[in-house]
Structures are given as C-alpha cells and as structure tokens.
C-alpha cells in the first residue's frame, strides 16, 4: 500500500531581522501515514537535513514539537532504547539530540510538527521550564492545539510579510499550552478544588490579616502539606501569593487615588510602614512614592 502523502508542509527561511525577534520557525506541517505503509518517512519533499530513516535516526539544530493525533508508534532515544507514543502525545525534541521515531505499521498515525530555534526558546529550556529528562508529554488530543498547527501551515504556505513573527507566536503558544496541559494533568480534581478554594479564601479575606496557616485550617489541611500543594500548583508559596495580591492592590490605589502611602500601608495590613516600603520595592522595583509619581500622573492623563 502506498503512503497517503498530503505534502501539507512547508520549510522556511529567515532573515537576520527575523532572528532578532528571538524565535524563527524553519518547518511546519502534518502528514497522515496509513497502516501497512511501505516506507517511513515518505521519500519526497523533505530537505536533506530533515530527512532520516528510523534505523539510523538523526540530530537537528532546532527544536521540534511533534504531535501525534491518531494512531501509535515508537520514539527512540537511542538505537536500543525506545518509548511507546500514541495519539495525544506531544514529543519535544531538543537541538543536537539523537532521536528517531516511526508509526506502528498496524495503525499508522497522523503527525503534526513545527520546528523552531532562537534565544527566546533557549531561555525557556535553560531556565528549566521543561524537564531535561522528559521527552513525551501526554497531553491528549486537544482541538485548540490541532487548530494552531493548521493555522501555522496556512500562514507558512502563504509566506506573507512578517509571517515569521506570526509563526513564532504560534510556536510559543503551542509550547506554553503543552506545559499547561501536562502540568495540570499531574493534579487530581480534589487538589484543584482545594487550591481554588484556598485562593478564593485568600482574596475574600485579604484585608483581614489572613495568614497561610489560617487558610490551611479553613480547608482542613496541615500547613506543611498545604504549602507544598499550593506551591506545586501555582509556582509560588501561599505567603508570596498573599503579598503579591496586596502589592497589586497598593499599585492600584497609588495610581488612581490621593490616599496617603501610610494609609495604604495600614489598609493593607502592614502595621510597619518601613516593612511595607521594603516589600513594595522588592516586588515592583519602585518605592511607593516613585510609583505614584510615575503612574498617578499617567493615569490622570
């Protein structure tokens, strides 16, 4: 049986100006591989640097987001080590890492991909937003992500002015959504409900001097366990979350009212104005007076 080759893909070039944007996309596409295929990958249309055979594998100089939306197959991290992949799996391939993959001949698969590189992407991985040891993200088949790939293919094929910036935004969004779906998959609905309830309690009692310990008590959880779950779920500790909300409120009052700084400090539950000044500077980079001088005038104008 012949491969069902859609040739629904595009390889792109970028200018120095595109590279200055921080992200450039070099390939995007999707391909349907029928079961009982003769060869994989198809032998037509792909530049030499992207072509490979499953037995020999390859290394690329860019990141690849390979999304499987139908069927199943195998991803090889080395010639003798493999991982099963299936519909709903996002594979993040990093630059200069040997890899190979192929669909199961009994099912075939549909694959979607986008390749990109640039300093902005390097920083995401350098700052450990993604685990270096994790390759497969089991995020499920998400229609909104599929639609983004389809949109990227349309934009790439038209290749209009500033298409690289459009495609860079799509690549960045797909990466962020992968993180979002994978991250939230780790939490059961009970944990989500408890943390959401905790955030509501904090907001409703922000000006009443509520503490993280108080919140833990209200949701019937030990403080140590509550702190761990809250930080795992939100990325910040409960104390940090409370301080952030207070500083947001302070910024709003400074920018839109004539209330004195000392009164704002007291209103937000800071008994020591010196401490308020220190915390505000830490979170915003401004003293309250500097912030008011800068943004109150702008607000009025």
From the list 226, 209, 217, the residue with the least C-alpha distance to 266 is 209
What is the residue-level pLDDT of the chain in tens, covering all 301 positions? 333 334 688 999 999 999 999 999 999 999 999 999 998 988 766 777 777 889 999 999 999 999 999 999 999 999 999 999 999 999 999 999 999 999 999 999 999 999 999 999 999 889 988 888 899 999 999 999 999 999 999 999 999 999 999 999 999 999 999 999 988 887 777 888 889 899 999 999 999 989 999 999 999 999 999 999 999 888 899 999 999 999 999 999 999 899 999 999 999 999 899 999 999 999 999 999 999 989 886 545 4
Counted residue by residue, the chain has a size of 301
Reduce the DSSP state of residue 181 to 3 states and report it: helix
Q: Are 274 and 261 in contact (CB under 8 A)?
A: no
**Class of domain 189-300 (CATH, top level):** mainly alpha
Strands (E), 128-252: 136-138
Q: Are 136 and 75 in contact (CB under 8 A)?
A: yes
Neighbours of 172 (CB within 10 A): 17
- Structure token digits, residue 227: 């702190």
pLDDT at 184: 81
pLDDT at 1: 34
Distance between CA atoms of residues 192 and 1, nearest Å: 48
Phi, psi of 28 (to 5 degrees): -155, 145
pLDDT at 33: 94
Superfamily designation of domain 8-185: Regulatory protein AraC (2.60.120.280)
Rg (CA), the chain: 25
Distance between CA atoms of residues 230 and 220, nearest Å: 14
Reduce the DSSP state of residue 60 to 3 states and report it: coil
pLDDT at 295: 86
Domain boundaries defined on the chain: 8-185, 189-300
128: left (phi over 0), alpha (psi -120 to 50) or beta: left
pLDDT at 271: 84
Q: Are 145 and 173 in contact (CB under 8 A)?
A: no
DSSP string for residues in 229-269 = HHHHHHSS-HHHHHHHHHHHHHHHHHHH----HHHHHHHTT
- Structure token digits, residue 14: 């970028």
Residue 300, H or E segment: helix 288-300
pLDDT at 297: 63
- Structure token digits, residue 132: 């270096």
pLDDT at 299: 45
Reduce the DSSP state of residue 67 to 3 states and report it: strand
Distance between CA atoms of residues 239 and 218, nearest Å: 16
Strands (E), 94-232: 100-103, 109-117, 136-138
pLDDT at 48: 76
pLDDT at 7: 62
pLDDT at 49: 73
Residue position matching structure tokens 């594998």: 57
């Amino acid at each position: 049986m012949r491969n069902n080759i859609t040739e629904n893909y595009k390889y792109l070039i970028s200018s120095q100006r595109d590279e200055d944007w921080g992200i450039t996309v070099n390939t995007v596409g999707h391909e349907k591989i029928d079961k009982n295929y003769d060869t994989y990958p198809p032998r037509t249309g792909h530049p030499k640097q992207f072509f490979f055979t499953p037995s020999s594998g390859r290394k690329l100089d860019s990141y690849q987001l390979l999304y499987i939306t139908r069927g199943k197959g195998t991803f090889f991290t080395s010639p003798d080590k493999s991982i099963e992949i299936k519909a709903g799996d996002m594979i993040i391939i990093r630059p200069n890492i040997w890899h190979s993959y192929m669909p199961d001949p009994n099912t075939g698969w549909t694959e979607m991909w986008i390749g990109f590189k640039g300093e902005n992407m390097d920083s995401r991985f350098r700052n450990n937003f993604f685990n270096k040891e994790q390759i497969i993200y089991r995020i499920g088949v998400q229609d909104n992500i599929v639609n983004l790939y389809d949109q990227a293919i349309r934009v790439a094929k038209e290749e209009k002015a500033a298409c690289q910036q459009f495609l860079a935004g799509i690549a960045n969004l797909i990466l962020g959504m992968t993180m979002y779906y994978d991250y939230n998959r780790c939490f059961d609905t009970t944990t989500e409900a408890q943390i959401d309830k905790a955030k509501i309690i904090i907001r409703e009692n922000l000006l009443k001097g509520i503490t993280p310990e108080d919140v833990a008590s209200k949701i019937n959880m030990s403080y140590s366990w509550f702190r761990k779950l809250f930080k795992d779920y939100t990325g910040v500790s409960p104390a940090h979350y409370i301080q952030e909300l207070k500083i947001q409120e302070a910024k709003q009052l400074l920018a839109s009212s004539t209330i004195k700084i000392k009164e704002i400090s007291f209103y937000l539950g800071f008994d020591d104005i010196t401490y308020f000044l220190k915390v505000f500077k830490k979170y915003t980079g401004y003293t309250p007076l500097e912030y008011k001088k800068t943004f109150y005038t702008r607000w009025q104008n």
